[in-house]
Amino acid sequence: MKYLVATFNIETSADLMQACQDLLADGAAEAGFESFEETETGIEAYVQKDLFDKEALDAYIADFPIMDTQITYDIQDAEDKDWNQEWEEQGFDPIFVGDQVVIYDAKHPELYPDTSDRPDIIEIGIEAKLAFGTGNHETTRMIIAQLLKMPVKTKRILDCGTGTGILGLTASKLGAKDVVGYDIDEWSVENAKHNAVLNGVDNMEVLFGNSSVLNHVSGVFDVVMANINRNILLEDMKLFRSVMNMGGTLILSGFYEEDVPVLLEKADELGLHEITRQVDNNWTCLVLGA
Ligand SMILES: C[S@@+](CC[C@H](N)C(=O)[O-])C[C@H]1O[C@@H](n2cnc3c(N)ncnc32)[C@H](O)[C@@H]1O
C-alpha cells in the first residue's frame, strides 16, 4: 500500500495553534488522512495514495474555520515500507473496558490477557491491520462503556464507521440479535469481516460505503453507534435518526467537549435528547434518546 506524508504548516497566534491543529486534523481526516502527529508549527499526517482527496483538502484549507490563519502543506511519498507488516509486528497490549470486556491482539499469543480469574469477561480478539479500533482510543472505550450499560441482548445494532468492527463485535458478544456495520474504507470493511470470523461472530453484516448504505438496509435499529468525527456526525445524524426505532438510542463519539453544543442543537432538531455524556481527555461520548 502506497502512502503519502504531508507536513502542514500553520501560521497563527500561539493561543490558537492547538485549536487550528485539531480542526486541521478533522478536515484532513475527511480528505483521507490518518496517523496525525502534532509538530511545533502544525501537524504531520499520512494518507493512502489512492484515498487522498486533494480537492477536499484544498477546499477545507481555503475555507478554514479560524480567521487569519495561513495553512500550507508539503506532500511527498512516504518511505516505502510495509506499514501493514510493521503494525502487525508491534502488536498491542490487552485493553480492558471496566471488568467486563477485554480487547486483545489476536495475532500475538504472547500478548493474550490472562483472564483465568474473570470467567465472565467478554474477550474480543482484533487483528487491527490498518483499521481503527483496538480500544486504545478513548472514543472507542467510551462507546463500549456506554453499550455495557444498555440492554443489548436481542436488540438490533448499527455500527457506523465500523473500522476493525470492534463496537459491532462487542454488541454481538453482548447478545445482540443482529448487527450491521459500514465503513467508507474498503480495507476496514475487509478487516471487520475478518475480525467477525475470528471471533465466531456470524450475525454481523459489514457494508462498504458512507451513510447512504442505510437507504438500502431494511428495518430499524435499537442502538445506533457512530465514532467518526464532528462534521460527519452532523451531516449524518438525520439519517441515523431515520433508522432508529421508537425509544432507540444513538451513541456518538469522535469529537471534543466543545463540539457538544452544536451536536445537541442538531439532536434537538431531530427530536433526540441527551441521556448522558462521558468525557475522557477532552474526547466526548454523547448518548441520545429518541
Ligand atoms: C474513529 S474510527 C472508529 C472505528 C471504530 N468504530 C471504533 O470505534 O474504534 C472512524 C471510522 O469511520 C470511518 N469513516 C470515516 N468517515 C466515514 C463516513 N463518512 N462514513 C462511514 N465511515 C466513515 C473511517 O474509515 C474509520 O474506520
Residues 33 and 177 in one domain: no
- Say how many Å lie between the CA of residue 117 and the centre of ligand 1: 34
> 70 and 89 share a domain?
no
Beta bridge partners of 6: 45, 75
| Residue 180 near residue 217, CB atoms below 8 Å | yes
d(CA 90, CA 92): 7
Residue having the nearest C-alpha atom to atom 25 of ligand 1: 185
- 6, 44 Cβ separation under 8 angstroms: yes
Domain count, the chain: 2
Range of the domain at 31: 3-81
pLDDT of residue 286: 98
What is the tally of helices (H) and strands (E) in the chain?
8, 14
- Same domain (yes/no): 67, 169: no
- Nearest alpha carbon to residue 249 among 215, 225, 280, 281: 225
Question: How many angstroms is it from 119 CA to the middle of ligand 1?
Answer: 32
Residue 43's closest CA among 13, 78, 80, 18? 18
State residue 89's pLDDT score: 66
The region of weakest confidence among 31-35, 206-210, 240-244, 252-256 is: 31-35
Give yes or no for residue 180 CB within 6 A of ligand 1.
no
Cα 231–234–236 angle (5° rounding)?
A: 105
DSSP state of 69: -
- Exposure string of 93-123, with b = 16+ CB inside 10 Å and e = fewer, is ebbbbeebbbbbbbbbeeeebebeeeeeebb
What separation in Å is there between the alpha carbon of 33 and the centre of ligand 1?
Answer: 12
Same domain, 177 and 268: yes
* Atom of ligand 1 at shortest range from CA of 131: 27
Residues 47 and 151 in one domain: no
Residue 88 pLDDT: 63
On the question of pLDDT at 80 being above 70, the answer is no
Nearest CA to ligand 1 atom 23: 161
Q: What local confidence, expressed as pLDDT, does residue 70 receive? A: 96
CA of 160 to the centre of ligand 1 (A): 7
The cell numbers describing 210, all together, are 458512507
The residue whose grid cell reads 493561543 is 15
Q: Name the binding residues for S-adenosyl-L-methionine.
A: 140, 161, 183, 227
What CA–CA distances, in Å, run from 253 to 46, 121, 175, 286? 22, 24, 22, 6
Least confident of 119-123, 192-196, 229-233: 229-233
**Closest by alpha carbon to 72, among 165, 8, 13?**
8
- Counting residues of the chain whose pLDDT is more than 70, the rounded percentage is 96
Pick from 81, 100, 130: which residue ends a domain? 81
236-253 burial, b if ≥16 CB within 10 A, otherwise e? bbebbbebbeeebbbbbb
Final residue in a domain of this structure, among 59, 81, 103: 81
Q: Contact 287/256 with Cβ under 8 angstroms?
A: no
How many CB atoms are located within 10 Å of the residue 77 CB?
10
Q: Is residue 26 lining ligand 1, measured as CB closer than 6 Å?
A: no
Amino acid at 15: D
Q: Which atom of ligand 1 is nearest to the CA of 163?
A: 27
Atom of ligand 1 nearest to the CA of 236: 19
Residue 79 has pLDDT above 80, yes or no: no
The whole-angstrom separation of Cα 102 and Cα 97 is 6
- At residue 121, the pLDDT reads 96
Q: Where residue 50 falls among pLDDT bands split at 50, 70, 90?
A: confident
Q: Which atom of ligand 1 is nearest to the CA of 137?
A: 9
**Which of 144, 141, 188, 140 is CA-nearest to residue 162?**
188
Same domain for 23 and 150?
no
Regarding whether 53 and 130 lie in a shared domain, the answer is: no
Q: Which SS3 state, helix, strand or coil, does residue 210 take?
A: coil
Based on the fold, state whether residues 156 and 67 are members of the same structural domain: no
Which of 81, 97, 132 is where one domain is finished? 81
Tell me what percent of the residues of the chain surpass a pLDDT of 90: 76
Three-class DSSP category at 41: coil
Q: What is the pLDDT of residues 155-187, one digit of tens each?
A: 999 999 999 999 999 999 999 999 999 999 888
CA 159 to centroid of ligand 1, rounded, Å: 9
The conformational region for residue 237 under phi > 0 = left, psi -120 to 50 = alpha, else beta, is: alpha
Verify that 187 and 261 share a domain, yes or no: yes
Is residue 136 very low, low, confident or very high in pLDDT (cuts 50, 70, 90)?
confident
pLDDT digit string, tens, across residues 221-239? 999 999 998 889 999 999 9
pLDDT value at position 82?
Answer: 53
Mean pLDDT of 259-277: 97
Q: Are residues 95 and 230 in the same domain?
A: yes
- Asked if 248 and 124 sit in the same domain, the reply is yes
pLDDT at residue 1 above 60? no
CATH code of residue 123: 3.40.50.150
Select the highest-mean-pLDDT range: 28-42, 46-60, 82-96, 247-261.
247-261
Q: Are residues 226 and 93 in the same domain?
A: yes
